[in-house]
């Protein structure tokens, strides 16, 4: 059995296959997932698993150089916005409108769909390098 925080085999595989600047999206239950982008669906029911728990776990495994969020989250979902700021305090954060955010997801290696049912709880993680 894998020793570590992240137990989901598909997320672990996607992270291991990522190169510098490749992206993975952690999404709420409502974010549209573009055709051709792998969907890793963790949603069980509303709120399970929650966005912050999944983000925290992915961050424990992935070297993140920068992240992208939609500016709408600051006003519409301040608690998740605050959690993102705390979890990514050493990471450059790009802030775009939600429509642009959705467009950027087309280039992601995968979208991890959580059960989060609060607005704009989405983040694009851009892979860094460990050397």
DSSP single-letter state for residue 105: G
What's the Cα-to-Cα distance from 98 to each of 10, 15, 17, 68, 89, rounded to whole Å? 27, 24, 27, 10, 22
Higher-pLDDT residue of 3, 60: 60
Q: What is the mean pLDDT of residues 11-39?
A: 98
Place of tokens 């070297």: 63
* 45 annotated binding-site participant: no
Would you call 45 a catalytic residue per the annotation?
no
Looking at residue 100, its pLDDT comes to 98
The pLDDT of residue 4 is above 90: no
CATH match for 20-127 among 2.60.120.700, 3.50.50.60, 3.40.1650.10, 2.60.40.10: 3.40.1650.10
Q: What is the mean pLDDT of residues 91-118?
A: 98
* 28 annotated binding-site participant: yes
**Full-prediction pTM beyond 0.95?**
yes
Residue 42: band (very low, low, confident or very high) from pLDDT cuts 50, 70, 90 = very high
Using the Cα atoms of residue 88, residue 90, residue 91 and residue 92 in order, give the sign of their dihedral.
positive
> Among the options 5, 7, 20, 92, which is catalytic?
20
The pLDDT of residue 102 is above 80: yes
Instruction: Spell out the domain ranges in the chain.
Output: 20-127
* 120 annotated binding-site participant: yes
The pLDDT of residue 35 is above 70: yes
The pLDDT of residue 1 is above 70: no
């Amino acid at each position: 059995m894998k020793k570590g925080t992240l137990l989901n085999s598909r997320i672990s595989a996607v992270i291991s296959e990522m190169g510098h600047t490749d992206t993975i999206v952690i999404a709420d239950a409502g974010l549209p997932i573009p055709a051709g982008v792998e969907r890793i669906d963790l949603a069980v029911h509303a709120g399970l698993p929650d966005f912050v728990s999944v983000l925290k776990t992915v961050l424990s495994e992935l070297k993140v150089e920068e992240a992208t969020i939609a500016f709408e989250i600051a006003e519409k979902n301040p608690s998740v916005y605050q959690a993102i700021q705390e979890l990514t305090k050493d990471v450059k954060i790009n802030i775009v409108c939600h429509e642009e955010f959705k467009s950027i997801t087309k280039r992601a290696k995968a979208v991890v769909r959580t059960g989060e049912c609060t607005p704009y709880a989405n983040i694009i993680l851009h892979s860094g390098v460990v050397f």
